[in-house]
Chains A and B, each alone.
Chain A
Amino acid sequence: MGERMFIEGNVAIGWGAATAGCQAFFGYPITPQNEITEWFAREFPKMGRIFVQTQSELGSINMLYGAAATGIRAMTSTSSPGWSLMQETMSDMANAELPCVIVDVQRGGPGAGPIRHAQGDYFQCTRGGGHGDYRNIVLVPASTQECCDLVQLAFYLADKYRNPVLVMSDAIIGRLRETVEVEKIEFGSLPDKEWAVKGKANHRDGKRRLVEHGGDLFARYPSYRALLQSLEQKIKQMQESELRYEAYKTEEAELILIAHGYTARVAKEAVNMARAEGIKAGLIRLITAWPFPCQIIREKAYQGCGFLVVEDCLGQVVEDVRSAVEGRTEVHLVSILDRHIPTDGGMILPDKVFDKIKEIQ
């Protein structure tokens, strides 16, 4: 049994990363993720591991690139505007096929926006975020325990696919204090990182290693097309093998709510309220925002199920749900405009979602 702690989600991220064997953290202050950077600043030197306070989010992501190129487990964390800054290097790392973990504790947007909670980074996270063709696995914690566990999973998946993996949290999950059991999760064995840059003396064959993100010039692949084919193959494999979601009371449900992160907890409460009144509601909670559970949503749509998306933005997940149902059924939305008060402190509350469920019925 692991150690039990009463901590907030941002701190649980730190313990999860340390447990997963993360050796280096690079961070720049930005609200609402500061607790993560401060945790690493406090704990990592004690563990003999590397912490660098960077000069900007560009510094964070590029130091992460350097660390990932050496094959060690490393991560950075940021919030929405900082995540935007990191996109060029995200794209480079996808090309260079580097495993690493990035945590985005979402805040409001567009622009600097409010420093409080929101879920408007969904498109940016699930579509890669930068230029060119690539995808990142996006893990979405909905509890403090999941912050700890999904970060561990993120490191495993990053190494498995040699691809950046994103943990998309939000300000509420990040600041939510719950009891967490910090325990190392075993995921299985991984291949050696033969490709990593360490200095030739550290390679068994004594031959040089290159980490690069170009096209034909450096001949990592026989051609640019071969590189793209390999990336496409990887995207398909991740889609086929790494989809994760929680289905709650979806059996024989007539209306399925779709939500992730903090709004999934709100939606679950609303489902319970509906069930108490005999309404057959259920919930699909996204644990991976990408890959997206298209197939289960499509099957339910073909069975005549209605859908209600609950998300704290103007409507991004809802577009993926509409695409999945192929026009077979109605897709409704409870959005950021349905918060209980109009200021940036407003939240989507279960009552509002329950009202919408009744309205649809």
Chain B
Amino acid sequence: MSEEAKVVTKQRVAGRPKLLVRQTAGFVYCPGCHEPITARAIAEVLEEAGMGDRTIGVFDIGCSSFLLGLLDIDAVLTPHGRPPDMATAVKRIYPDNIVFTVQGDGGLLSIGADPLLGALTRAEKITIIMLNNAVYGTTGGQMAPTSLVGQKTTTTPQGRDVIRTGFPTHAAEMISTFKGTAYSARGAFNNPYNYERTRGYIKTAFQKQMDKVGLSFVEILCACPANWRLSPEDSLKWIEEKMLPEFPLGEFKSVDKIE
């Protein structure tokens, strides 16, 4: 490893991206939550690209709104489920800025399905980052569109029953089927290897946007220990044993040109 690479690695492991706000008070996250590390990955990618001061973040209601406080970039908070709409307008006005949304699975696939479909249909040059924790987080752990079959939540106390509540939605696969999609991938933050991989997905997604190819999408499997009623450590195991078989990681679409 070259000296330069060593410094970069040390900075990556022990350092802190400048775009990541140091919160001394009002840190709202539950222990073991993967949202702060999502913020870190986004901050690292933006900083490396030198785009921090030319980026506008669009954050949804729910736990994803807390990212407003963690990332040192211009940002807007939307009504629940509407980030793709707002990002559409912001991107049309500032076509050379990076405009991205961060949303939960409920915010994108349930209440926010209409703006998602609209943005996909229009092939908006925005990036959507969806945090999939298989529950509604902020409201206390109700069933989400991504809840696993049999998963116990506060609104499926006997476990998710396919007869009454159907099956989990696979966002990354679904979004990859749209002509206007430039990039669609699914990552996870359950171990360092997957962190690096997912960080790479975010980087590629932003690059596709900067190249004005089409809509880019990254789904990230995130731990929610508080609502899963598991310890942070057991939550990592749950991602590996339960979520990964249902939601495989990887890139589902990556094109450089849409014709």
Chain A residues engaging chain B, CB cutoff 8 angstroms? 23-24, 26, 50, 52, 54-56, 58-59, 62-67, 69-70, 72, 74, 88-89, 92, 96, 197-201, 203, 206, 208-214, 217-218
Asked if B115 is at the interface (CB within 8 A of a chain A CB), the reply is yes
Q: How far is the CA of A24 from the CA of B91 in the complex (A)?
A: 12
Give the contacting residue for B89; candidates A52, A92, A210; CB below 8 A: A52
Chain A residues with Cβ below 8 Å from B28 are: 217
Query: Can you pick out 10 interface pairs between chain A and chain B where the beta carbons lie within 8 Å of each other?
Result: A50-B89, A55-B114, A59-B85, A65-B76, A67-B89, A72-B93, A210-B68, A210-B77, A211-B75, A212-B68
- Asked whether B74 lies within 8 Å of A209 as measured between CB atoms, the reply is yes
Q: How far is the CA of A213 from the CA of B117 in the complex (A)?
A: 25
Closest A residue to B59 by CB, please name it. A212
Chain B residues with Cβ below 8 Å from A65 are: 76, 78-79, 82, 85-86, 89
Asked if B38 is at the interface (CB within 8 A of a chain A CB), the reply is no
Give the contacting residue for B92; candidates A24, A55, A88, A198; CB below 8 A: A24
- Asked whether A88 lies within 8 Å of B79 as measured between CB atoms, the reply is yes
Asked if B232 is at the interface (CB within 8 A of a chain A CB), the reply is no
Supplied contacts A55-B118, A62-B115, A197-B90, 17 more A-B pairs, CB within 8 Å = A55-B114, A56-B114, A59-B85, A59-B118, A62-B79, A62-B86, A65-B76, A65-B78, A65-B79, A66-B88, A92-B78, A197-B56, A200-B73, A201-B53, A209-B74, A212-B65, A214-B65
Q: How far is the CA of A200 from the CA of B97 in the complex (A)?
A: 10
- Asked whether B89 lies within 8 Å of A64 as measured between CB atoms, the reply is yes
Chain A residues with Cβ below 8 Å from B75 are: 197, 208-212
Chain A residues with Cβ below 8 Å from B82 are: 58, 62, 65, 89
Q: How far is the CA of A344 from the CA of B153 in the complex (A)?
A: 50
Chain B residues with Cβ below 8 Å from A208 are: 72-75
Name A's interface SS: mixed
Q: How far is the CA of A69 from the CA of B86 in the complex (A)?
A: 9
- Asked whether A199 lies within 8 Å of B97 as measured between CB atoms, the reply is yes
Q: How far is the CA of A92 from the CA of B61 in the complex (A)?
A: 11
Closest B residue to A93 by CB, please name it. B79
* Contact A58 to B115, CB < 8 A, known contacts A197-B76, A208-B73, A213-B77: yes
- Asked whether B53 lies within 8 Å of A63 as measured between CB atoms, the reply is no
Closest A residue to B93 by CB, please name it. A70
- Which residues of B from 168 to 195 have beta carbons under 8 Å from A? none
Asked if B121 is at the interface (CB within 8 A of a chain A CB), the reply is yes
A19 CB to nearest chain B CB (Å): 20
- Asked whether B77 lies within 8 Å of A66 as measured between CB atoms, the reply is no
- Asked whether B73 lies within 8 Å of A62 as measured between CB atoms, the reply is no
Chain B residues with Cβ below 8 Å from A199 are: 53-56, 73-74, 94, 97
Q: How far is the CA of A213 from the CA of B82 in the complex (A)?
A: 14
Q: How far is the CA of A70 from the CA of B78 in the complex (A)?
A: 13
Q: Mark B40-82, 1 if CB is under 8 A from A, else 0.
A: 0000000000001111101000000110110011111111001
Asked if B87 is at the interface (CB within 8 A of a chain A CB), the reply is yes
Chain B residues with Cβ below 8 Å from A52 are: 88-89, 92, 122
Q: How far is the CA of A238 from the CA of B72 in the complex (A)?
A: 35
Q: How far is the CA of A66 from the CA of B82 in the complex (A)?
A: 10
Q: Which of A50, A88, A218 neighbours the largest number of chain B CB atoms within 10 Å of its CB?
A: A218
Chain A residues with Cβ below 8 Å from B65 are: 212, 214, 217
B125 CB to nearest chain A CB (Å): 13
Q: Mark B93-107, 1 if CB is under 8 A from A, else 0.
A: 110010000000000
Q: How far is the CA of A334 from the CA of B60 in the complex (A)?
A: 47
- Asked whether B121 lies within 8 Å of A55 as measured between CB atoms, the reply is yes
- Which residues of B from 118 to 171 have beta carbons under 8 Å from A? 118, 121-122
Q: Mark B16-45, 1 if CB is under 8 A from A, else 0.
A: 000000000010100000000000000000
Chain B residues with Cβ below 8 Å from A69 are: 76, 86, 90
Closest A residue to B88 by CB, please name it. A63
Q: How far is the CA of A74 from the CA of B88 in the complex (A)?
A: 14
- Asked whether B53 lies within 8 Å of A66 as measured between CB atoms, the reply is no
A276 CB to nearest chain B CB (Å): 53
Q: How far is the CA of A331 from the CA of B242 in the complex (A)?
A: 69
Closest B residue to A201 by CB, please name it. B53
* Contact A67 to B93, CB < 8 A, known contacts A198-B74, A199-B53, A201-B54: yes
A68 CB to nearest chain B CB (Å): 8
A21 CB to nearest chain B CB (Å): 14
Chain A residues with Cβ below 8 Å from B114 are: 55-56, 58-59
Give the contacting residue for A89; candidates B79, B87, B117; CB below 8 A: B79
